[in-house]
């Protein structure tokens, strides 16, 4: 599960913690250039029951700071909603849960270093990745490989000016908290980070080796994904996601399908109430025949799609 497109769906909480927390960067990249605003028109779904409404909005967890995704329809949905739903806790609560999980599961024994787990070629790939991510080697030296992979992947994306603070979920969360709206989540931070942590150390090292190699090429996949999302091309988002998971169908089941099945069950309970929900989850959870809109339509809810409109 090392490819960036697969990890983008889950990296938001970890990226915010590790790249904006106490860890010091080394050789940090220059400040992002001042760029003209890019207007995006991402898709927005509206789900109707007899008593409730839910807006489904796909998040790209890391975005360039100059991409503006607001539109009349999205802003109207944000204003109308009284309950905001996210994948997992954000803000201080999410950061605390992340720190607790890392303390319990993210560090190697004191007498073991991360480079000592790697062979000769992997060590060179590791040095290259550290340089590309502008991350302090001292910060990584005692991290378990799964955790170091998240930090390096996030660092490489930040160096390319993709920021978690510009991610959709964090922006929507900031709007919701500023308006004192009710906030709910589908999962805990522990649920999410546990999915990124292999159960066997030899598999963990193998996946880390693959991540180091793929970091050299995977950034080429991010641009097309952001373009498809920002232009409301839902079918293209689905195609890109299917391509990313093609070699690991088990990861697709774990990261997308099983979670969607749990979330749609939870949403059925929501739709029996009397609230207006604004639900922000990774864009990959909404696209295609196994996405949340399709699953909800199959349950008999009316689902409308607004896409590629200002």
Question: 95 with 193: CB under 8 angstroms?
Answer: no
Residue with tokens 């749990």: 262
pTM for this entry? 0.87
Q: Which burial class, exposed, middle or buried, applies to 274 when counting CB atoms under 10 A from its CB (0-12, 13-18, 19+)?
A: exposed
Q: pLDDT value at position 81?
A: 98
Question: 135 with 156: CB under 8 angstroms?
Answer: no
Distance CA 195, CA 251 (A): 9
Distance CA 227, CA 188 (A): 29
Distance CA 194, CA 217 (A): 26
Question: 54 with 277: CB under 8 angstroms?
Answer: yes
Distance CA 301, CA 242 (A): 25
Q: pLDDT value at position 218?
A: 61
Question: 166 with 64: CB under 8 angstroms?
Answer: yes
pLDDT, tens digit only, all 310 positions of the chain: 335 444 554 454 444 444 444 344 444 445 555 556 789 999 999 999 999 999 999 988 888 888 999 999 999 999 999 999 999 998 888 888 888 888 899 999 999 999 999 998 999 999 999 998 888 899 999 999 989 988 888 888 888 888 777 889 999 999 999 999 999 999 998 888 888 787 777 788 988 888 888 876 666 667 888 899 999 999 998 888 888 777 777 878 888 999 999 999 999 999 999 999 999 999 989 989 999 999 999 999 999 998 654 4
Question: 66 with 35: CB under 8 angstroms?
Answer: yes
Distance CA 273, CA 51 (A): 6
pLDDT digits (tens, 9 = 90+) for 135-178: 889 999 999 998 998 888 888 888 888 877 788 999 999 999 99
């Amino acid at each position: 599960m090392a490819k960036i497109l697969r990890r983008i769906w889950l990296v938001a909480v970890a990226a915010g913690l590790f790249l904006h927390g106490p860890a010091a960067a080394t050789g940090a990249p220059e400040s992002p250039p001042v760029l003209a605003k890019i207007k995006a028109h991402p898709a927005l779904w509206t789900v109707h029951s007899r008593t409730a409404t839910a807006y489904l909005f796909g998040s790209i967890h890391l975005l360039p700071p100059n991409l503006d995704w607001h539109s009349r329809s999205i802003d109207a949905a944000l204003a109308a909603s009284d309950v905001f739903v996210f994948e997992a806790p954000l803000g201080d609560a999410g950061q605390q849960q992340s720190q607790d999980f890392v303390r319990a599961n993210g560090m190697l024994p004191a007498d073991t270093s991360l480079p000592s787990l790697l062979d000769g070629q992997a060590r060179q790939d590791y040095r290259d990745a550290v340089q590309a991510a502008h991350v302090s080697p001292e910060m990584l030296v005692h991290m378990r490989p799964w955790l170091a992979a998240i930090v390096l992947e996030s660092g490489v994306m930040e160096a390319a000016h993709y920021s978690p603070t510009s991610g959709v979920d964090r922006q929507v969360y900031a709007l919701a908290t500023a308006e004192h709206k009710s906030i709910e989540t589908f999962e805990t931070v522990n649920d999410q980070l546990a999915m990124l942590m292999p159960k066997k150390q030899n598999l963990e090292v193998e996946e880390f080796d693959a991540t180091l190699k793929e970091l050299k090429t995977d950034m080429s996949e991010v641009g097309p994904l952001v373009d498809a999302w920002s232009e409301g091309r839902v079918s293209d988002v689905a195609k890109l996601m299917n391509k990313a998971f093609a070699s690991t169908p088990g990861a697709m089941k774990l990261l997308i399908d099983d979670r969607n099945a749990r979330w749609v069950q939870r949403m059925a309970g929501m739709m029996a109430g009397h609230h207006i929900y604004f639900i922000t989850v990774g864009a990959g959870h909404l696209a295609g025949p196994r996405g949340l809109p399709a699953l909800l339509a199959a349950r008999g809810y009316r689902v409308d799609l607004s896409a590629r409109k200002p």
